[in-house]
Amino acid sequence: MSTNQLWTIDKIKKIINKPFFDLLFIAQNIHRKNFIANKIQISTLMSIKTGLCPEDCKYCAQSARNNTGLKNQQLVKLEQVINAAKKAKKSGATRFCMGAAWRNPNDRDMPLLEQMIKNVKDIGLETCMTLGMLSEQQANRLAKAGLDFYNHNLDTSPEFYHNITTTHSYQDRLNSLDIVRKANIKICSGGILGLGETIDDRINLLLQLANLPKQPESIPINMLVKIKGTPLANNNNIDPFEFIRIVATTRIIMPKSYIRLAAGREYMNEQTQALCFIAGANSIFYGEKLLTTSNPSCKRDRLLFNKLNIVTESNLINTVSEQQSFNDKYYDASI
């Protein structure tokens, strides 16, 4: 999935400013060219170490600098991860994501992290971790243990980033993605909408992702969850149509990436989520809780899936024959 063209701000602006229904039509056509329609990949996310993070990310409940009343928790035991992963698989998840509130992991924690990866994979799930910044040696150890994905969001544009985080730079984020990619781990990287950024910042975020040497295999698009005690608790809500435009534009410029509706989905009504799926979103976090914030109940998601005739994927790789058969029947490649 190499980048086929060098995207520019002007090219992305031209896409995002198309009439709304034209934008969705193009995005849905591109989606159907690359994925089987009406299928959603679901991931489950577990916090394996909560709170006391030294970073100063202004949206985050886990920063030690934000007084959010969060109950801190040290690195969990292996058995807790195994039990949670078994439950996730039973619920229909195909990927199990583990997040730790660290600037970077300590080498002393690596053996346990490696055991978590191996045991979750033995259950039959893909694995993803988000642990902050990694050294090359740590990334290689995670890869050897079998880690499939590493999540490290860019959050926003390079120009706006200093308004959100000052304890590390945007280049630090990009360097981390480069280390992960060189270790042959797939990249999960996206952003957060509603931080106070402009439309241009959102476009520039997409530009950064689209022009990576290899586009992320997974792109989480988060809507800011406004947490009391964080500096962004009183931010304005993002307009749902602006959010949907970002999803559609992401699909058009990164056609083969999975696009995940991540944090903030609890505050989206069914209609907004449905339009996001039309726009090309094809992955969600499933389960009542993300790292520290709430998520729609499994029952609520199942009801929505039933209304939309959506099925969940039993695995991430669709067979070529199945996809080609679908495309031949339904897809007109001319747009």
Active site residues: 53, 57, 60, 97, 128, 188, 260
Cβ–Cβ < 8 Å for 40, 312: yes
Pair of tokens at residue 82: 């195994």
At residue 206, the 3 state secondary structure works out as helix
- The one-letter code for the residue type at 317 is I
Angstrom distance (rounded) from CA 182 to CA 178: 6
Give phi and psi for 146, each to the nearest 5.
110, 15
Instruction: Residue 246: name the closest of 273, 197, 206, 275 by CA.
Output: 206
Rounded to the nearest angstrom, the gap between the alpha carbon of residue 314 and the centroid of all alpha carbons in its chain is 19
The DSSP line for 110-148 is: HHHHHHHHHHHHHHT-EEEEE-S---HHHHHHHHHHT--
> In angstroms, what is the C-alpha Rg of the chain?
19
At residue 270, the 3 state secondary structure works out as helix
Sign of the torsion angle spanned by Cα atoms 166, 172, 176, 177: positive
Pair of tokens at residue 271: 């209609």
Strands (E), the chain: 39-49, 95-100, 126-130, 149-151, 186-188, 191-193, 218-223, 258-261, 283-285, 311-312
